[in-house]
Amino acid sequence: MISPVGSDSLKPLFVYDKTRRDELIEEASRLPSVEISSAAAANAVMMGGGYFTPLEGYMNLADGMGCAENMHMTDGRFFPVPILNLVESLDGIEGAGRVALRDPNVDGKPVIAIQQVDTIEKVSAEQMEVMTREVYRTQDLEHPGVAAFNGHGRYAISGPIEVLNFSYFETDFPDTFRTAVEIRGEIERRGWQRVVAFQTRNPMHLAHEELCHMAMDRLHCDGLVIHMLLGKLKPGDIPADVRDNAIRTMVKLYFPENSAIVTGYGFDMLYAGPREAVLHAYFRQNMGATHFIIGRDHAGVGDYYGAFDAQTIFDTEVPEDALEIEIFRADHTAWSKKLNRVVMMNEAPDHTKDDFVLLSGTKVREMLSHGIAPPKEFSRPEVAEILIKYYQSL
């Protein structure tokens, strides 16, 4: 099986030993505490599950700046984005050696992790500008990722963490949320050697389904891991439980048995385009995938990134030895009226736009809201039925 990034084995930060976890929970009741951002809580979940191996906790400012500027921490380790615990106020925690981190996404704001405080640093406006510009390639506050990152606060608390729970992901998505440890175990149990991962924050239409089949066939993969983002999205995106139902229905009906698993991970979407694509590849290697599908405008939003920037960054900015996982580069896929099947558009040079079945997201949402299923060349009818019920319930 493929090795984790920069390590011989996964390093999950979740405290699996019950005795130790009980001790930490008791300690948390006596420690000063701070409510962290949704993004920091999601990062604790990712570190807890081993996805961010070999990180041991939140970065200090120098490491965060290094990851933003050249995708390396100060000790030379590769990591594509800063993983910071930024807070707005130090009230009650200044001078503390250990702090309890409270989860903003769960009622009662329970403690999600305990952090050893190595440093507390004030992040300057200039440093925030540099990190924003390098990671998001824009400083436009209309960009949802930029707005979120710049709204977290200006004090960076660094240090290792011990994770006590997986926030709401484990309880709200018990059949879907899986740690990197669990996915590696499932891949090993199934005997898969070559595994391709597919990232989604949306339901999968016919083109997505066929893209996965194409990747599996061309890469000679034993299995597919559909890995769904379960964390915070931008307004208007379809809720995770609806996406989960739609994707599971598609897999059950249209994939051979033991060829695909549907899983999810707890992370808040950055919408950082190319940089987020690298992060997505990073933690897919950690969960055991040997290949990863990156399509047009992967992890993008609006018009901030070029259609294939998320692919070319692996050629121009990611060091050759940084990742073992291989990228499957996909173009937009759509139904060809000429060929009567789904194709990658760049592999049909004799086609014009009119030769494809293309529907905008706005048009699809409008159809579903009115109880109209998109054509079978665009969406499986069983998937459309689930989405119609959702849109008509709004």
Buried b (16+ CB within 10 A) or exposed e, 141-153: eebbbbebbbebb
Among 152, 167, 182, the domain-final residue is 167
Model pLDDT, residue 202: 87
Model pLDDT, residue 258: 92
Position 356 in a domain: yes
Q: Which residues of the chain have pLDDT under 70?
A: none
Same domain, 25 and 147: yes
Position 156 in a domain: yes
Model pLDDT, residue 201: 85
Return d(Cα 81, Cα 131) in angstroms, integer.
9
Q: Give residue-wise pLDDT tens across range 345-369.
A: 999 999 999 999 999 888 999 999 9
Same domain, 365 and 280: yes
Return d(Cα 277, Cα 293) in angstroms, integer.
10
Position 10 in a domain: no
Position 95 in a domain: yes
Domain with residue 190: its CATH number is 3.40.50.620
Among 141, 167, 193, the domain-final residue is 167
DSSP per-residue codes, 180-212:
HHHHHHHHHHHT-SSEEEEEESS---HHHHHHH
The pair of structure tokens assigned to 152 is 């977290």
Closest CA to 41 of 160, 168, 153: 168
Model pLDDT, residue 239: 85
Among 124, 146, 167, the domain-final residue is 167
Model pLDDT, residue 98: 98
Same domain, 189 and 70: no
Same domain, 243 and 284: yes
- Identified catalytic residue from 202, 245, 329, 365: 202
Q: Between helices 125-136 and 61-70, what is the axis angle to 10°?
A: 40
Model pLDDT, residue 237: 79
Same domain, 161 and 187: no
Beta pairing class for 356-357 and 333-336: antiparallel
178 catalytic per annotation: no
Beta pairing class for 111-116 and 119-122: unpaired
- Identified catalytic residue from 77, 201, 329, 365: 201
140 conformational bin, left if phi > 0, alpha if psi -120 to 50, beta if neither? beta
Same domain, 223 and 289: yes
Domain with residue 62: its CATH number is 3.10.400.10
Same domain, 201 and 326: yes
Torsion of CA 230, 235, 237, 239, to 10 degrees: 50
Model pLDDT, residue 236: 76
Residue-number span of the structural domain to which 257 is assigned: 171-265+271-393
Position 384 in a domain: yes
Single-letter residue type at 141: L
202 catalytic per annotation: yes
DSSP per-residue codes, 138-171:
---TTSHHHHHHTTS-SEEEEEEEEE---TTHHH
How buried is residue 130: exposed, middle or buried, by Cβ count under 10 Å (0-12/13-18/19+)? Answer: middle
Position 4 in a domain: no
Same domain, 138 and 250: no
Same domain, 216 and 283: yes
Please report where in the chains the tokens 């139904």 appear, as a residue: 335
Same domain, 246 and 124: no
DSSP per-residue codes, 41-92:
HHHHHHHHTTTTTT--EE--HHHHHHHHHHSB-TTS-B-SS----EES--TT
Model pLDDT, residue 381: 96
Model pLDDT, residue 232: 75
Please report where in the chains the tokens 């990197």 appear, as a residue: 180
- pTM of the entire predicted model: 0.95
Model pLDDT, residue 255: 96
Model pLDDT, residue 238: 86
The answer to whether 181 touches 189, Cβ cutoff 8 Å, is: no
Position 233 in a domain: yes
Position 378 in a domain: yes
Same domain, 222 and 77: no
Model pLDDT, residue 41: 98
Domain count, the chain: 2
Closest CA to 45 of 165, 204, 135: 165
Same domain, 244 and 318: yes
